[in-house]
Amino acid sequence: MTDDDFQTAFWSTKHALAVAAAAAYARHGVYEGQQFILRQLWQEDGLTPGQVAKRLGLATPTVTRATTRMEAAGLVRREPHPTDRRLVRLHLTARGRDLEHEIEAESARLTERALTSFSAAERAALFRALRRIEANLTETAPAAEANPGRQAR
């Protein structure tokens, strides 16, 4: 297997999952990716966009843009932070709260569809492999790799 084979297979799998997820969640007025923000708020309502971003490993502006769209769709509302006027807190609306079981059911169906031909042992091995890949890619890179435009002195 070449580097291109691995990256192509990984990208095409990720793309297929994103397309299937987009279709599944769209039935409920949720854009793919928003389910992760909703999950954070189902666990703990009233988080700031920065807190959500940190928990998901995203940039705060990414969460802010997504929640703007979610607010327009009636899934969340923003309220001023009680002690810091620079911040807002994200709260689920009744509609956002009511979607929890539907979105989780869609997620379960999507996972089962993706893994239907895998045995329990294969599923466990796949999850371990994915976590190892994630760890390999998120470990601290040497300074020269992290900043390729910066010259070593």
Q: Is residue 147 part of a domain?
A: no
Tokens at residue 20, please? Answer: 């299937």
Domain that holds residue 37: 13-139
Q: Is residue 124 part of a domain?
A: yes
The dihedrals phi and psi of 106, each to the nearest 5 degrees, come to: -60, -45
Q: Is residue 144 part of a domain?
A: no
The C-alpha angle 147, 150, 153, rounded to 5 degrees, equals 120
Q: Is residue 101 part of a domain?
A: yes
Given CA atoms 28, 41, 55, 125 in this order, what sign does their dihedral have?
A: negative
What was the pLDDT predicted at 2? 75
Number of domains in the chain: 1
The C-alpha angle 41, 137, 132, rounded to 5 degrees, equals 80
Mean pLDDT in order along the chain per 10 residues (153 residues): 86 96 95 95 97 95 96 96 92 97 96 97 97 88 48 35
CATH number at residue 47: 1.10.10.10
Q: Is residue 86 part of a domain?
A: yes
Q: Is residue 53 part of a domain?
A: yes
Q: Is residue 29 part of a domain?
A: yes
What was the pLDDT predicted at 140? 66
Q: In terms of Cα–Cα distance, which of 78, 97, 99 is closest to 88?
A: 78
